[in-house]
Structures are given as C-alpha cells and as structure tokens.
Structure 1
Amino acid sequence: MYFGKKNSEEPEIIMEDTIVYACGSADCNGWMRKDFASENYDCPMCGSQLVEEVRELPKIENEYNAFK
C-alpha cells in the first residue's frame, strides 16, 4: 500500500513562560497550569501542597478563561 508523503509543513510551536502549580513533595512530579487549576491548591495525585513556579511550555489557548 502507498500512503503518500505527509505534509512537511508542521505548525510552529510557540514556547512561552507559563505559571504552573507544581507538587511540593519530592516523591511526586505532579503539576498543572495556573489557567487550569481550581481554587484547591492541593496536589490531586498525592494531596501535598502545590507551589507556584514558572516553566517554559508550549502556548495553548484556554477558551474557558476568555468567558470569565
């Protein structure tokens, strides 16, 4: 079978500094973007306290926050 060549033009991934909440426990590597976090600042995986930090992540649009 022949599937042809894939489109070689990939969309450019834009990286930006993003505020995230990371788990403070050394045994857990859970984190979430601030835009998607609820007001509960406990890690959903282990229950430890979340700490705010900045990471360079791909830019995504959060349409939910546009309607707040």
Structure 2
Amino acid sequence: MAFFNNEKEPVKNVETNVWSCVSDDCQGWMRENYSFDEEPSCPICQSEMKKEIRVIPELK
C-alpha cells in the first residue's frame, strides 16, 4: 500500500510477553524472547523481574 504526503504506514500494536522490573525506582523491561535466562535480572538496576503482558508495536 502506498502512502503519500509524508504519511507513514500505521504501526500495528500487539500483546507481547515481557519481563518487567519489580523495583519501584526502575522502569526497565524487555521482551521475553530477548533473554536466554530462565528468570533474568534487570539490565538497568540488577533487580528481579516478573512476567507481564504489554501492548507494544509489533516487530517485523
């Protein structure tokens, strides 16, 4: 599909499994499939992480 007048193709948002930092001072998160660890630690503050589902842009 062609888009004109500098309009960009709309980005599709999908529900995605992510790891989210449990620390109140940190807002770190990462997609679940970006970690090789069974339960990864936060790459920003090294705290524990928990699984969540977020609606984020789809990666192609």
Please indicate, yes or no, whether the TM-score normalized by the shorter chain is above 0.5: yes
Give the drift of 1:11.
1.2
More contact order relative to length (CA 8 Å, sep ≥ 6): 2
Give the percent of matched residue pairs that are identical in Structure 1 and Structure 2. 34
Q: Which runs of 5 or more structure 1 residues have no equivalent in the other structure?
A: 1-5, 62-68
Give the drift of 1:57.
0.3
Equivalent residue number for residue 35 of structure 1: 33
The alignment's TM-score, normalised by the length of structure 2, stands at 0.80
Count of residue pairs brought into register by the alignment: 56
The within-5 A match list for 1:8-27 is 8-27=6-25
Which structure has the larger Rg? 1
| Cα shift readout 1:20-53 (whole Å, capped 9, x = no counterpart) | 0000111110000012123151011111111000
The alignment's TM-score, normalised by the length of structure 1, stands at 0.72
| Higher helix proportion (structure 1 or 2) | 1
Equivalent residue number for residue 54 of structure 1: 53
Aligned structure 1 segments of 4 or more residues deviating by more than 2 angstroms: 6-9
Q: Which runs of 5 or more structure 2 residues have no equivalent in the other structure?
A: none
Structure 2: distance between partners of 1:44 and 1:7: 40
| Higher strand proportion (structure 1 or 2) | 2
